[in-house]
Structures are given as C-alpha cells and as structure tokens.
Amino acid sequence: MQILFLVILGAVQGLTEFLPVSSSGHLVLLGKWFGVQETLFVSIILHLATFFSVLVCLRKEIWQLIKHPFSDEAVKLYLATIPTCIIALILMPLINKSFMGGALGFCFIISAVVLFATDILSKKKVKVREDITLKHAIIMGVFQGLATFPGVSRSGATICGGILSGADKKKTAKFSFLMSLPIILLSLLMEIYEIVGAGQTISVNIAGLIISFFVAFAVGTLSIKVMLKVTEKTNFRWFALYLIIIAILSFIF
C-alpha cells in the first residue's frame, strides 16, 4: 500500500471518526473509488491512533473512571455498551454485508436526516438535565448499536440520541467520545482475532503506516475539540448537507 494512500487513510480516519459523518462509510467509499481496501492491520493501527486521541482529549475524565471504576459515571458507560454489543451481534450478518458498499448512500442519508432533525428539534425550549442519566446512557447505547453500519455515524448517532432524549449537550458529546473507547477496543480485539485466526501475513509500508498513525492521531484530536464546540451550539446542518452530497456521489460513482 502506497505511503500517500496510507496518509490519506489516516487523515480520513482521524477526521471522520469523531465528526458526525461516519469514518467507516468514508473508508468504504475510498476503497470503492480507488480500488484499494485498507487491510485489517492498517485498520488496527488507525483505530489505535483515534483511541489515543480520546485518551489525550478526555484524560481527566478517563483518569477519574480509572480511579473510580464503579462510580455512577463508569456504570453508565458499562450499561451504554451493553445494548450496543447486543444490537451489533444480532445485526452482524447484515453489518458484514453492508461493508460491500451497496447500502452506503442510503446510510449517509439516514445520518443526514438524524442530524437535521436534531438540529431543528434542539432549538425548541426543552427541560435539559445537567448530567447524563441512566436513561440517556442506554438510549445512546442503542443509537451506537444502530450506527455500526458504514455510512451511519457513530458519534453523530450517539450525540443526537443524547440530545434528543434531553441530555446536556456538552456532556453528551464527552460521554459519546468516552463510549467510543470500549467499542474501539472490542473492534481491535476482533480484528486481531481475525488476523491470527486466518494466519494472515502482514505486508505494509512501515514508514507510511507510522506517518498515517500520527496523522490520524493529530487530526482525530483536533476533530474531538471541534465536535465539542459544535455540539454546544447543535449546529449540525452543514454536516447533514455534506452527507447528502456525499450520498449522491456514492450513488453516481
């Protein structure tokens, strides 16, 4: 795999993992357009890079979770992960098939509709809780489970789920990014298992992979900071418009 394409993959992964536009959808689309698919090993490295982005940006919150693994916040995080895993396991055959890209355009449109709806509905005066409740966490976990299809944004779905259920916007965004940690870890373990189980040989440009890792980490860190500010204002319509455009392009090309 060429260095340039690895760097592009890193930039796309870092940018789209946390912005509400679907990283998996963009990576599938890149593979479709350029005829080059990322290998499982490259996927592991890029996921690891964005994992570290979350660790850096939310280090204070994560340190509190480590010190108090059975706190209310930690329990909510655990419970939010349960519906995600259950839904993902039930839908696994459909999810695997969706990575062929056949439903990619429709999934981008679904993400756009959810973002538009959240943008409009959040402007109405509603009672907002200061903290993420158990109800909010479970709803966000369900949304995260449904966002395992490429083209449906994980961050967009979970943040919209939290806001629509009445949670505080900024805390919803932070909780959404914390929710990504166990999911990224589980994805990494599954990908490692697939590599070991299939006895695959790893063939990749090491220099390009290292550069790609740091690009994904840097861009991912910036994306988290941008998304925290965007969520406070619930200004999602431009992301929704972008998704509609990319959906049209995915249908045409």
Q: Where are the domains of the chain?
A: 3-252
Q: Residue 37: its pLDDT value, please? A: 66
Residue 125 has pLDDT above 80, yes or no: no
pLDDT band at 74 (very low <50, low <70, confident <90, very high): very high
Each residue's pLDDT tens digit, 203-226: 677 888 899 999 999 999 999 999
Instruction: Look up the pTM and report it.
Output: 0.90
pLDDT band at 134 (very low <50, low <70, confident <90, very high): very high
Work out the burial of residue 47: count CB atoms within 10 Å of its CB; fewer than 13 is exposed, 13-18 middle, 19 or more buried. buried
- Per the model's pLDDT, the better-predicted residue between 84 and 197 turns out to be 84
Q: Residue 143: its pLDDT value, please? A: 96
CA distance 89 to 197: 19
CB distance 13 to 27 below 8 Å:
yes
Cα of 58 vs its chain's centroid, Å: 16
Residue 135 has pLDDT above 80, yes or no: yes
CB distance 71 to 64 below 8 Å:
yes
Q: Which residues contact 3 (CB under 8 A, 6 or more apart)?
A: 205, 207, 208, 211
